[in-house]
């Protein structure tokens, strides 16, 4: 898995690629924690290049969202393929974390 992160003001945009599962969930969490500063108010996860996500990946996303919310921030997801979006719907995560079709829509939603 590769994770690219960039900034748009106080918003971090992270673009992981490949599979997000138990074998790399810790690496994913560490990369997100390293990319987010205390001054950051939002995180957009661009999942355009994610082909699979397991419960371990969902856990990292939930923990990151809770951490951001605890600091007054927010998270949004974008560009999920249909099978990935279905995982979020089945798990109920789509009611916890906003999902948008495009990166621009996600940025607009979090104020970036």
- CATH code, 47: 3.30.750.24
**Residue 47 phi, psi (nearest 5):** -100, 20
Please name the helix (run of DSSP H) or strand (run of DSSP E) that holds residue 21, with its range, or none.
Answer: none
Give the separation between CA 45 and CA 64, rounded to whole angstroms: 11
Which of residues 38 and 73 earns the better pLDDT score? 73
pTM for the model stands at 0.93
Helix axes 82-91, 55-70, angle to 10 degrees: 70
Residue 112: per-residue pLDDT = 63
Number of structural domains found in the chain: 1
Q: Which domain holds residue 13?
A: 2-109
Contacts of residue 28, defined as CB under 8 A and 6 or more positions apart, other chains included, come to 1, 3, 16, 20, 57, 60
Please state, for a pLDDT cut of 90, what percent of the chain lies above it: 83
The tokens of 91 are what? 């798990």
Q: With a cut of 70, say whether residue 61 has pLDDT above it.
A: yes
In the predicted model, is pLDDT for residue 32 greater than 80?
A: yes
The pLDDT of residue 43: 96
In the block, tokens 């996860």 appear at: 45
Alpha carbons 108 and 87: distance in angstroms, whole number: 24
């Amino acid at each position: 898995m590769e994770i690219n992160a960039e900034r748009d003001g106080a918003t971090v945009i992270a673009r992981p690629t490949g599979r997000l599962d138990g074998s790399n969930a810790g690496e994913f969490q560490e990369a997100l924690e390293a990319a987010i500063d205390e001054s950051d108010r939002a995180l957009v996860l661009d999942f355009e290049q994610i082909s699979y996500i397991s419960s371990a990946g969902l856990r990292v996303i939930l923990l990151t969202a809770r951490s951001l919310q605890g600091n007054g921030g927010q998270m949004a997801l974008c560009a999920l393929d249909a099978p990935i979006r279905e995982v979020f719907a089945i798990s109920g995560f789509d009611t916890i974390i906003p999902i948008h079709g495009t990166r621009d829509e996600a940025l607009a939603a979090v104020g970036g």
